[in-house]
Structure 1
Amino acid sequence: MSIRPMVSALTRHRASVVILVLEIALTFAVVSNAFALIMHRVARLQLRTGLDDSHLVYVNTEGSDRPDAGAVYATILDALRRIPGVQSAASVNTVPFGPREGTDGFYLDLAERHFGRVADFYYGAPGYLHVMGVRLIAGRVFDPGAYRGFKVMPPSGGVIISQKLATLLWPGKNALGRSIWVGKEHRYQVIGIAASVLRPDPGYAGIEDAYDSLFLPAKLGAPQTGSYVLRADPARRQAVLHAAYAAIQRIDPRLVVDRDSSGSITDLRRAFEKNNRIMIGLLGGVISALMLVTGLGIMGMSGFWVQQRTRQIGVRRALGARRVDILRYFQTENFLLATAGIALGCAAAIGINVWLMAHYAVPRLPVIYLPIGAVALWLLGQLAVLGPALRAARVPPTTAMRAA
């Protein structure tokens, strides 16, 4: 089947052809980016903390920067450990799905020539690694004397690093004994490697950065250690949480308990997943609406062209064209239009993605979604044109000629 007659026929409807191609291009650009964002959100839903979520409860407090903070925290910890159902408790800065309280960038050398990553530092008072359930793979835990006070970051010393982060920083090498620098004042030497633990706010970074976590020691009463992680009986987590709220308010009414960012780890995870599921639903709705509108547009335009070409169809039938030939003609014509729209849409999709990356920190559009989007638009076009094409193929030659 020659392409030239199709192109010639389409040039008689230039305005409608341009509109249809632009509609397909816009749909392709938006759908490709929306689908990529959906898959990114789906990947976030599959993240695991690396801890025993069912036993952990987190209580986030703010507002204690007094000189006697250490004594207050110690009193609170003693009260929390006495709550029925609580197995152990410790002071921490945050937990997975909790607020970002230790995000910082670090270098692999003192001269700051080799940048490492922007990671999240977990730190807490003695026992916090055990309460959280951080599993050591290699090396050792912190010595009792390593838990010291500080103003901004824990003082130089040992650090325990998440296994995935260690592999990213020193691929194929042993991370034990290596050092990282946060500024020029803080040097941390890797003394232990832990099973990978999810960073506090996995939505803040990309999927590939979700396990960029490190662990540091902090003296009870140090900044941002006024929050608590409790290991509790899974069946009593809600009762434990409310009892913890009451105990903290009774001991120090000046402490503000942030209930929105407190709860069992499973509850915090559920809130994180809820936001992602809502976004997935919205993006799915956008894709469905665009595909529907584009499909209806192709169907309507194709039906109009069939009506306009009744005489041409009749002539072709009279000259021996079969119904399948007429059907193939309109399907091929639609394929050409869809291909033109997809080619234009590829450039638009990349442009939209670049703009989103610059303004909203979305991930780069994976190239694989371009062919996926192309196949989807090709299939949509063929389905949308099928009805008008079948109607054209059913027109008898005599009826078509009479209509002329």
Structure 2
Amino acid sequence: MNIRPLLSALTRHRASVVLLVLEIALTFAVVSNALGLVMHRVDKLQLRTGLDDTHLVYVDTDGTNRADAGAIYATILHALRRIPGVQAAASVNTVPFGPRGGTDGFYLDASEKHLGKVSDFYWGSPGYLEVMGVRLIRGRGFDPGAYRDFGTMPASGGVIISQKLATQLWPGQDALGKSIWLGKKTRYQVIGIAAPVLRPDPGYAGIGDAYDTLFLPAAPGASETGSFVLRTDAAQRQAVLHDAFAAITRIDPTLVIERDSSGSITTLRRSYQKNNRIMIGMLGGVIVALMLVTGLGIMGLTGFWVQQRTRQIGVRRALGARRVDILRYFQTENFLLATAGIVLGCAAAIGINVWLMAHYAVPRLPIVYLPIGAVALWLLGQLAVLGPALRAARVPPTVAMRAA
């Protein structure tokens, strides 16, 4: 189809054409970014802990300042293990979807010239890896003598590292025997490779860094070990949690239990992901609303143009234009307008994403969402214009004679 008559007709409605193109461009820019954010949140919902969530219960406390903290925690652990339904228990610093308690950056050399990653360290009392269900792929676990008291971070010794993080740090190499440094004095040597385990706060890092985790040994009473993880049957989790609260309160009434951040791993996941679900719903509503408003705008403006061009359409019909030709005319016209809006919207979408990245740490918009948004708007435009275009196609040739 020759587009010159189309362009000539559009120039007679410059103001409405410009407004429609700008509306399409704005919709494209916002919808593309919103779709990218929705899919990013969906990816977060699909993250797996790498543990047996249905059998784990977590009890979070804010620790104690008592000098005999180690003895208190040992007494609590003994009581927790005697609760009916508890198969095993250990003191830990945190669990997936729990509070962050071991986030730190490390280096790959003592001179601190080669930064490794900012990752999350898990540590706990003897047997905590087995209680949590951390699966060792290669290497060995911690010796009994490695579980020591410490202040801020465990002293130099062995470390178990997740397979995914090991691959990132030493691609194509065997991570066993490698070393990492926290400062120039604290050195950990990799003694084991574990299956991936999710970070306590996966939203703190990007999806690609969600499994940057390492494991260290700690004696009960060491820094940040005032929380406990218990293994039980799925059906007994709530009863075990209730009994654990009672046992801790009975042993040390001054120890504050953080009930909001305690519960089964499944419950912690649901609570943690609540905001993601709300945001997905809100962004989905924005996408639907914008597409609906844009579709109604295209429909209304095309209907107005059809009404204004009734005599012109009748003349074309009298000169031999078929109904399908009239239909194709308005569909092509809309395609040109949508394309102009999409081209302009691409620049706006990238600009909005750059601004969001700079101010709100939003991830980079995957380029794939630009063609997805373009196809969606092209289809929306064709559907929106279909009703007015069909009405125009039904205009009889006699309209031209009556108008004359």
Q: TM-score, normalised by structure 2?
A: 0.97
Q: Which residue of 2 aligns with 1:123?
A: 123
Give per-residue Cα distances to partners, 1:321-368, cap 9 Å, x unaligned. Answer: 111111111111100110111111111111111111122222110000
Using the TM superposition, give the Cα deviation of residue 223 of structure 1 relative to its aligned residue in structure 2, in angstroms: 1.3
Q: Which residue of 2 aligns with 1:147?
A: 147
Using the TM superposition, give the Cα deviation of residue 400 of structure 1 relative to its aligned residue in structure 2, in angstroms: 4.0
Q: Which residue of 2 aligns with 1:204?
A: 204
Mapped contact 1:54–1:266 kept (Cα < 8 A): yes
More displaced stretch, 144-153 vs 78-87: 144-153
| 1:13 has 2:9 as partner | no
- Structure-2 separation of matches of 1:367 and 1:374: 12
Mapped contact 2:318–2:400 kept (Cα < 8 A): no
| 1:87 has 2:82 as partner | no
- Structure-1 separation of matches of 2:61 and 2:111: 37
Mapped contact 1:59–1:241 kept (Cα < 8 A): yes
| 1:233 has 2:233 as partner | yes
- Structure-2 separation of matches of 1:205 and 1:73: 32
| 1:348 has 2:348 as partner | yes
Q: Which residue of 2 aligns with 1:248?
A: 248
- Structure-2 separation of matches of 1:333 and 1:227: 66
* Aligned counterparts, 1:174-213, within 5 A: 174-213=174-213
More displaced stretch, 109-118 vs 149-158: 109-118
Using the TM superposition, give the Cα deviation of residue 373 of structure 1 relative to its aligned residue in structure 2, in angstroms: 0.4
Mapped contact 1:65–1:223 kept (Cα < 8 A): no
- Structure-1 separation of matches of 2:63 and 2:160: 29
- Structure-2 separation of matches of 1:365 and 1:117: 23
SS in 2 for 1:117: strand
Q: Which residue of 2 aligns with 1:42?
A: 42
Q: Which residue of 2 aligns with 1:99?
A: 99
Q: Which residue of 2 aligns with 1:294?
A: 294
- Structure-2 separation of matches of 1:228 and 1:400: 85
Q: Which amino acid aligns with 1:292?
A: L
Which residues of structure 2 form unaligned runs of 5+?
A: none
Q: Which residue of 2 aligns with 1:134?
A: 134
Q: Percent identity?
A: 83
Give per-residue Cα distances to partners, 1:144-202, cap 9 Å, x unaligned. Answer: 22112222111111110001111111112110011112232321111100011111112
- Structure-1 separation of matches of 2:6 and 2:184: 69
Using the TM superposition, give the Cα deviation of residue 63 of structure 1 relative to its aligned residue in structure 2, in angstroms: 4.0
SS in 2 for 1:203: helix
Q: Which residue of 2 aligns with 1:260?
A: 260
- Structure-2 separation of matches of 1:301 and 1:117: 55
- Structure-2 separation of matches of 1:28 and 1:366: 14
Give per-residue Cα distances to partners, 1:360-396, cap 9 Å, x unaligned. Answer: 2221100001000000000000000011111111101
Which residues of structure 1 form unaligned runs of 5+?
A: none
| 1:381 has 2:368 as partner | no
When the two chains are superposed, the root-mean-square deviation of aligned CA atoms in Å is 1.2
Give per-residue Cα distances to partners, 1:22-67, cap 9 Å, x unaligned. Answer: 1111111111111111111211222111111111000000041222
Mapped contact 1:108–1:180 kept (Cα < 8 A): yes
SS in 2 for 1:109: coil
Q: Which residue of 2 aligns with 1:304?
A: 304
Q: Which residue of 1 aligns with 2:402?
A: 402
